[in-house]
Amino acid sequence: MKRKKTEKIFGVIGLGRFGMAVAKELAAAGSEVLVIDRLEQRVRSAREFTENAYVTDDLSKENLEQMGVGACDTVIIGITSKLDMSLLTALNAVNLGVPRVIAKSTSPEHGELLEKIGAEVVYPERDMGLQLAKRLCAKSVMEYISLSNDVDITELRVPERYVGQEVRSCGIRRDYGVNIIALRSGETTVTSIQPDYRFSPEDVLVLIGGSADMQRFTKAMQK
C-alpha cells in the first residue's frame, strides 16, 4: 500500500464484530483502511468498503509488512480469542514502526501485557457496561462518554432546580468542578453560553469534568 500525503491510513487486524465495526466506521468517514482476517467470508464483506483486504492467518512481521501494515498511521487489533496471537501481532506492528497500535482486550492481565509491548488498550465490553451503568444510575443522563479514566463528557436534561435561573447563579463550576461546553434547546445548539442565560425546561446540557466530579454532580441532581 502506498501512502497518500494528505490521508491517514488505518489498519484493522481481526474482523470480528469489534474490528468490522471499526473498519466500516473509518471507511464511512472517508479514511483509507487496510483490513486483515483469517476468514475469507469476513474479508469478502470488507471488500465492499475497501480494496485493501487480505485473507491470511500468517501474522508474522514479514507478512504484515508485505501487506502494507508498516505504512499505516494507526493499527487496531481486534484479536482476543488467542492471547498469544494478539500479543504477537501487537508486537509485530510496533516493531514495524506503526506510530499508534490499539488492541482490544478482554481482561486486565491481557491489557497489561499489551501495554508493556507498547500498545494502547481498549476494553469495549467493559466500557459499554460502565456507560450503561452510569446512565441507569443517573436518570437525567441522556448520553455519557468517557474520554479517559479521569475525564467524562455527559449530556443531560437541565435539572429542575436550575430552570429559570441564570447560568452564573447556578454555580455548577464553582460547586461541582464541571463545565458547560454546549447547550441544546430544541433544534439549536450553542457552544458559547452567556452568564445571564436563563435555563428553560427543554434545555439539554453538555458537561465536561473529572469522573469523580461528574459522578458527584449527577448524584446531587437526583436529590
Cα 81 from chain centroid (whole Å)? 21
CATH 3.40.50.720 domain locations along the chain: 9-122
Give the residue-averaged pLDDT of 167-196. 87
Please tell me the distance from the alpha carbon of residue 113 to that of residue 37, in angstroms, as a whole number: 22
- State the pLDDT confidence band at 189, using cuts at 50, 70 and 90: confident
pLDDT averaged over every residue in the chain: 85
- Please answer whether residues 34 and 69 qualify as being in contact, where contact means their C-beta atoms are separated by less than 8 angstroms: yes
CATH 3.30.70.1450 domain locations along the chain: 127-221
Q: Which CATH number fits domain 9-122: 3.40.50.880, 3.40.50.720, 3.40.50.150, 3.40.50.2000?
A: 3.40.50.720
Segment 100-138, tens digit of pLDDT: 999 998 888 999 999 999 999 888 765 555 554 454 444
The b/e string for 10-32 (b: 16+ C-beta within 10 A; e otherwise) is bbbbbbeebbbebbbebbeeebb
Give the residue-averaged pLDDT of 4-18. 81
* Per-residue pLDDT, 137: 46
Place of cell 464484530: 17
Segment 49-93, tens digit of pLDDT: 999 999 999 999 999 999 999 999 999 999 988 899 999 999 999
Answer whether CATH 3.30.70.1450 is correct for domain 127-221: yes
* Per-residue pLDDT, 125: 66
Q: Which of 43, 40, 36 is nearest to 66 (CA)?
A: 36
**Model confidence, pTM:** 0.60
